[in-house]
Amino acid sequence: MEVAGSGLVGPVLAWYDAHARDLPWRRASASAWSVLVSEFMLQQTPVSRVLPVHEAWLARWPTPADLAAEPAGEAVRAWGRLGYPRRALRLHGAATAIRDRHGGAVPAEYDDLRALPGVGDYTAAAVAAFAHGRRHAVLDTNVRRVLARAVSGVEFPPRSVTRAERDVAEALLPADPPTAATWSVAVMELGALVCTADRPRCGSCPVGPACAWNTAGRPAYDGPPRPVQTYAGTDRQCRGRLLAVLRDAAGAVPESRLATAWDDEVQRRRCLESLLADGLAVRTGAGIALP
């Protein structure tokens, strides 16, 4: 398939060669486990917040088997305040599956990766590409936005990945697998640093003159309203406060102690029950604890 954006690849690769951030999971010395951990942590979390936690995680658990050997609650504790702590449980589950099914080595095949707990299409493709140099279309939010603008001429992509988007992404992949893997991370970096959601720096973009959205005058997005996330006062904030008490405790804490973390009793009880249902907390004879 020939697409309008076929001329993007060379300029983006050249730009990435000059502007790529030095991130530990991108280094030649990085293990596949480091890449997998980074992909779990980077979901909806900025790089700046992930860097120290990723470093501490790899220092404590340098292999999947090291993590799998500890209770899942230790993963939740080490996750700290990255947010969306169910990712910690899923990463622990993935580590256990890697130990039990793959001899402790992060698999290279997409289907094997996709079968791991907590690993969806994007993460499987990203790990296959970035850790193992495989040729896969890697469609995260940044990549989808770059391709929507540069190829389709719209400011933002649809809410969910479409067949048309995947066709464009796959058509742009270089034939050589290592180059395809570099292209995938390069276009992702371009979306993170230049073709950002708000205030894109089109004047600094290596494909600005060829970008369909830019050359059309950057027409405003006219699709369905984009979701606006709030945090203060939400159940998500309440759950985070309750988990912070559990993380900081040496063992189980009386349920009454959780009242110090959140005043609204109805909301607090609802959020505690949701933590228990998600497996992020357990009831013991002594109170509430991490699993």
Show the tokens assigned to 138.
């890697």
Q: Which of 2, 39, 165, 189 is catalytic?
A: 39
What is the 3-state composition of the chain as percent helix, strand, coil, each rounded to the nearest 5?
60, 0, 40
| DSSP three-state, residue 287 | strand
**Residues 128 and 134: beta-carbon distance below 8 Å:** yes
What lies within 8 Å, CB to CB, of 288 at 6+ separation is 246, 252, 253, 254, 255, 258, 272, 281, 282
**Distance (Å) of CA 181 to CA 20, 26, 128, 129:** 14, 11, 9, 5
Burial class (CB in 10 A: 0-12, 13-18, 19+), 113: buried
| DSSP three-state, residue 253 | strand
- CA-CA distance, 260 to 275, in Å (whole number)? 17
Beta bridge partners of 287: 284
255 flagged as catalytic: no
**Residues 268 and 259: beta-carbon distance below 8 Å:** yes
Beta bridge partners of 282: 289
Q: Which of the 8 DSSP states describes residue 150?
A: I
Catalytic (active-site) positions: 39
